[in-house]
Protein backbone atom coordinates (compact mmCIF):
# COMPACT_ATOMS: atom_id res chain seq x y z
CA UNK A 1 0.00 0.00 0.00
CA UNK A 2 1.30 3.44 -0.91
CA UNK A 3 0.39 6.84 0.50
CA UNK A 4 0.24 9.89 -1.68
CA UNK A 5 -0.39 13.54 -0.88
CA UNK A 6 -3.46 15.01 -2.55
CA UNK A 7 -3.54 18.61 -1.36
CA UNK A 8 -3.85 18.57 2.41
CA UNK A 9 -4.97 14.91 2.49
CA UNK A 10 -2.91 11.79 2.42
CA UNK A 11 -4.54 9.32 0.08
CA UNK A 12 -3.98 5.64 0.52
CA UNK A 13 -3.24 3.96 -2.80
CA UNK A 14 -4.06 0.30 -3.09
CA UNK A 15 -2.24 -1.37 -5.95
CA UNK A 16 -3.88 -4.63 -6.95
CA UNK A 17 -0.58 -5.86 -8.38
CA UNK A 18 0.79 -5.91 -4.82
CA UNK A 19 -1.96 -8.39 -3.98
CA UNK A 20 -1.76 -10.47 -7.15
CA UNK A 21 -0.15 -10.08 -10.54
CA UNK A 22 -2.75 -12.49 -11.92
CA UNK A 23 -6.08 -11.96 -10.14
CA UNK A 24 -7.96 -15.17 -9.47
CA UNK A 25 -11.56 -16.40 -9.23
CA UNK A 26 -14.57 -15.09 -7.33
CA UNK A 27 -14.37 -17.11 -4.11
CA UNK A 28 -11.50 -18.26 -1.90
CA UNK A 29 -12.59 -21.88 -2.20
CA UNK A 30 -12.09 -21.73 -5.99
CA UNK A 31 -8.43 -20.77 -5.93
CA UNK A 32 -5.77 -18.32 -4.80
CA UNK A 33 -5.90 -14.52 -5.15
CA UNK A 34 -9.69 -14.44 -5.32
CA UNK A 35 -11.92 -11.38 -5.35
CA UNK A 36 -13.33 -12.44 -1.98
CA UNK A 37 -9.85 -12.60 -0.48
CA UNK A 38 -8.89 -9.23 -1.95
CA UNK A 39 -12.06 -7.62 -0.55
CA UNK A 40 -11.68 -9.16 2.91
CA UNK A 41 -7.94 -8.85 3.39
CA UNK A 42 -7.12 -5.63 1.52
CA UNK A 43 -10.14 -3.47 0.67
CA UNK A 44 -12.16 -3.84 3.84
CA UNK A 45 -9.29 -3.08 6.28
CA UNK A 46 -8.28 -0.06 4.18
CA UNK A 47 -11.86 1.26 4.16
CA UNK A 48 -12.27 0.65 7.90
CA UNK A 49 -9.09 2.69 8.43
CA UNK A 50 -9.50 5.51 5.90
CA UNK A 51 -13.08 5.42 4.64
CA UNK A 52 -13.41 5.65 0.89
CA UNK A 53 -10.72 8.29 0.59
CA UNK A 54 -8.52 5.68 -1.06
CA UNK A 55 -7.41 5.16 -4.61
CA UNK A 56 -7.50 1.71 -6.14
CA UNK A 57 -4.96 1.16 -8.87
CA UNK A 58 -5.85 -1.71 -11.20
CA UNK A 59 -2.76 -1.31 -13.40
CA UNK A 60 0.02 -3.86 -13.47
CA UNK A 61 -2.14 -6.95 -12.97
CA UNK A 62 -3.14 -9.11 -15.91
CA UNK A 63 -6.13 -11.22 -16.91
CA UNK A 64 -8.91 -9.88 -14.67
CA UNK A 65 -12.03 -11.98 -14.71
CA UNK A 66 -15.37 -10.27 -14.18
CA UNK A 67 -16.09 -12.49 -11.16
CA UNK A 68 -13.02 -11.19 -9.34
CA UNK A 69 -14.07 -7.58 -9.89
CA UNK A 70 -17.73 -8.19 -9.07
CA UNK A 71 -17.03 -10.02 -5.84
CA UNK A 72 -14.37 -7.56 -4.69
CA UNK A 73 -16.30 -4.36 -5.40
CA UNK A 74 -19.95 -5.37 -5.64
CA UNK A 75 -19.38 -7.40 -2.47
CA UNK A 76 -18.41 -4.25 -0.56
CA UNK A 77 -21.94 -2.94 -1.08
CA UNK A 78 -23.75 -6.28 -0.61
CA UNK A 79 -21.96 -6.89 2.70
CA UNK A 80 -22.69 -3.29 3.73
CA UNK A 81 -19.04 -2.44 4.22
CA UNK A 82 -19.83 0.75 2.31
CA UNK A 83 -23.15 2.52 1.73
CA UNK A 84 -24.55 3.85 -1.56
CA UNK A 85 -22.98 7.31 -1.20
CA UNK A 86 -19.59 5.81 -0.39
CA UNK A 87 -19.89 3.41 -3.33
CA UNK A 88 -20.55 6.33 -5.67
CA UNK A 89 -17.51 8.14 -4.29
CA UNK A 90 -15.34 5.04 -4.47
CA UNK A 91 -16.27 4.53 -8.12
CA UNK A 92 -14.50 7.81 -8.91
CA UNK A 93 -11.31 6.62 -7.21
CA UNK A 94 -10.55 3.71 -9.52
CA UNK A 95 -7.40 4.08 -11.61
CA UNK A 96 -6.94 1.93 -14.66
CA UNK A 97 -4.73 3.52 -17.31
CA UNK A 98 -3.59 0.24 -18.88
CA UNK A 99 -7.15 -0.85 -19.56
CA UNK A 100 -9.78 1.89 -19.10
CA UNK A 101 -12.59 -0.66 -19.50
CA UNK A 102 -11.75 -2.13 -16.07
CA UNK A 103 -12.61 1.08 -14.21
CA UNK A 104 -15.87 1.25 -16.14
CA UNK A 105 -16.66 -2.35 -15.23
CA UNK A 106 -15.95 -1.76 -11.52
CA UNK A 107 -18.28 1.27 -11.61
CA UNK A 108 -21.01 -0.88 -13.14
CA UNK A 109 -20.66 -3.46 -10.33
CA UNK A 110 -20.88 -0.80 -7.64
CA UNK A 111 -23.96 0.70 -9.31
CA UNK A 112 -25.60 -2.72 -9.81
CA UNK A 113 -24.97 -3.63 -6.18
CA UNK A 114 -26.55 -0.35 -5.00
CA UNK A 115 -29.57 -1.01 -7.26
CA UNK A 116 -29.80 -4.54 -5.87
CA UNK A 117 -29.85 -3.29 -2.29
CA UNK A 118 -32.43 -0.62 -3.09
CA UNK A 119 -34.68 -3.20 -4.72
CA UNK A 120 -34.39 -5.46 -1.69
CA UNK A 121 -35.24 -2.56 0.63
CA UNK A 122 -38.52 -1.88 -1.26
Partner 1 sequence: MIIEASTLQTLDSLMRWLVALTGWGMALWGWRVRGRQSREIADHAEVNKAIDAALERIERLEDISISFWKDPDAPIVPAQVGAAVDSCIFYTQQLISLHPSRELPSTLFVEVRKQITTNMEHEARGLDHQRTRISRLVRMTGKLKREPVYKKHSLTKKRNPDDLK
Q: Kindly state whether residue 108 participates in binding partner 1, applying the rule CB under 8 A.
A: yes
Report the largest interatomic distance among the alpha carbons of the chain, rounded to a whole angstrom.
Answer: 42
Give the nearer residue to partner 1 in terms of CB position, either 51 or 63. 63
Strands 9-15 and 2-6: antiparallel
List all residues 6 or more positions away from 45 whose beta carbon is below 8 Å from its beta carbon.
none
**Which residue lies nearer to partner 1 by CB, 15 or 65?**
65
Residues in 20-49 at the binding interface with partner 1, rule: CB under 8 A: 22, 24-27, 30-31
Given the rule CB under 8 A, which of 4-12, 38-46, 79-87, 98-106 is the region that contacts partner 1?
98-106
How far CA 51 is from CA of 65, 86, 89, 114, in Å, comes to 26, 8, 10, 18
What distance in Å separates the CA atoms of residue 25 and residue 38, rounded to the nearest whole number?
A: 11
Q: Residue 12 Cβ, how far from partner 1 at the closest point, in Å?
A: 26
Using the minimum distance from each CB to partner 1, give the nearer residue, 63 or 116. 63
Amino acid sequence: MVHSDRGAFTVKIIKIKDFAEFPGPRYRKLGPCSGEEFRDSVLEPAIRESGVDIQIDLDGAFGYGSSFLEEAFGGLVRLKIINAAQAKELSTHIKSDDDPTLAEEVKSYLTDAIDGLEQKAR
